C-alpha cells in the first residue's frame, strides 16, 4: 500500500518550482516614481533574506495556504486540488499574477497579493486589474512588506497594460491603501455585493 494521495507530491521537483507567470516581468517594473517606500526597498531589493516572485506549486509546502488562512477561510485544500487550481490559472496566461514574498532562510511564504486581469471590450479592448488577497504574515507586519507587495502589484498592473487597478476593502483599511496611492472617487465609492 502506498501513502495516501494527499502525502504524495503529484509533481516532480522541477515542475514544483515552475512559476505561475514569467518572473521576468517583475524585473521590468518601474520603481523610479515610487516615493512611499523607505530605504530603497523595491521588489528587486525587498530586504535581507526576502524574495518577491510568482507563486509556484512548491509553495504548498512553504505555508502559502496557511498564510491565506490569516486573511480568510481557506478550507481543507489537498495538494492535488491546489495543483489543479494552479494549472487552471497558469492555463490562462495574462490573467492571474499570484505574487509572493518568501523568507528564503526559513523557506516560508510570508506575504502575498494577486493581480487578476479582466479583459474588456470597452476602451478599445482594454484590461482592468483587480488587487486581491493581500496578506502579510503576523510576525512580519509593520515592516513595509504590505506596502511592498501592494506596490509590486500596482506596478505589475501598469506593466501588463491595465488601464486601472481596483480593490475592495474594509473602511479601516482605507488609510493603508491610500498610503500607496489608491483613492476613493467622488460619486463612485460603492462596492455592491451579493454573496451566494
Ligand atoms: C494590511 C497588511 C497587508 C499590511 O501589512 P504590513 O506589512 O503590516 O503593512 P506596512 O508595514 O507596509 O504598513 C504600511 C502602512 O499601513 C498602515 N497599516 C498597516 N496595517 C493597517 C491596518 N490594518 N489598518 C490601518 N493601517 C494599517 C501602517 O501603520 C503603515 O503606516 P505608516 O507607513 O504610516 O507607518 C497586514 O496588516 C495584513 O496582512 N493584515 C491582515 C489581512 C488584511 O487585512 N488584508 C487586507 C485585506 S483588504
What is the full DSSP assignment across 15-71? Answer: HHT-BSS-THHHHT---TT--S-STT--SSS--TTEEEEE-BGGGGGGTHHHHHTTT
In tens, the pLDDT along 83-137 reads: 999 999 999 999 999 999 999 999 999 999 999 999 999 999 999 999 999 999 9
CATH no. for 5-176: 3.40.630.30
Average pLDDT taken over every residue of the chain: 94
Q: Whose CA is nearest to atom 40 of ligand 1?
A: 135
50 lines ligand 1 (CB under 6 A): no
- Give the domain ranges of the chain: 5-176
Q: Please report the pLDDT score of residue 14 as a whole number.
A: 81
**C-alpha closest to that of 8 among 56, 60, 55, 75:** 60
Residues 51-95: tens digit of each pLDDT: 999 999 999 999 999 999 999 999 999 999 999 999 999 999 999
Q: 0.75 cut: is pTM over it?
A: yes
Please give the DSSP secondary-structure letter assigned to residue 151.
H
Q: Which atom of ligand 1 is nearest to the CA of 147?
A: 12
* pLDDT given at position 37: 97
Amino acid at each position: 500500500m502506498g501513502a495516501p494521495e494527499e502525502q504524495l507530491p503529484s509533481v516532480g521537483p522541477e515542475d514544483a518550482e515552475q512559476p505561475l507567470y514569467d518572473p521576468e516581468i517583475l524585473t521590468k517594473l518601474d520603481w523610479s516614481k515610487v516615493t512611499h517606500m523607505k530605504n530603497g526597498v523595491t521588489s528587486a531589493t525587498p530586504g535581507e533574506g526576502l524574495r518577491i516572485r510568482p507563486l509556484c506549486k512548491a509553495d504548498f509546502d512553504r505555508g502559502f495556504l496557511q498564510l491565506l488562512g490569516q486573511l480568510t477561510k481557506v478550507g481543507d485544500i489537498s495538494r492535488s486540488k491546489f495543483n489543479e487550481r494552479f494549472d487552471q490559472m497558469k492555463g490562462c496566461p495574462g490573467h492571474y499574477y499570484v505574487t509572493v514574498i518568501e523568507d528564503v532562510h526559513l523557506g516560508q511564504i510570508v506575504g502575498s497579493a494577486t493581480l487578476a486581469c479582466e479583459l474588456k471590450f470597452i476602451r478599445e479592448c482594454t484590461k482592468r486589474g483587480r488587487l486581491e488577497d493581500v496578506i502579510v504574515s503576523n510576525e512580519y507586519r509593520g515592516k513595509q512588506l504590505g506596502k511592498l507587495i501592494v506596490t509590486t502589484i500596482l506596478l505589475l498592473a501598469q506593466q501588463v497594460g491595465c488601464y486601472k487597478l481596483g480593490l475592495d476593502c474594509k473602511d479601516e483599511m482605507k488609510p493603508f491603501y491610500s498610503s500607496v496611492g489608491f483613492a476613493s472617487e467622488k460619486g463612485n465609492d460603492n462596492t455592491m455585493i451579493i454573496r451566494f
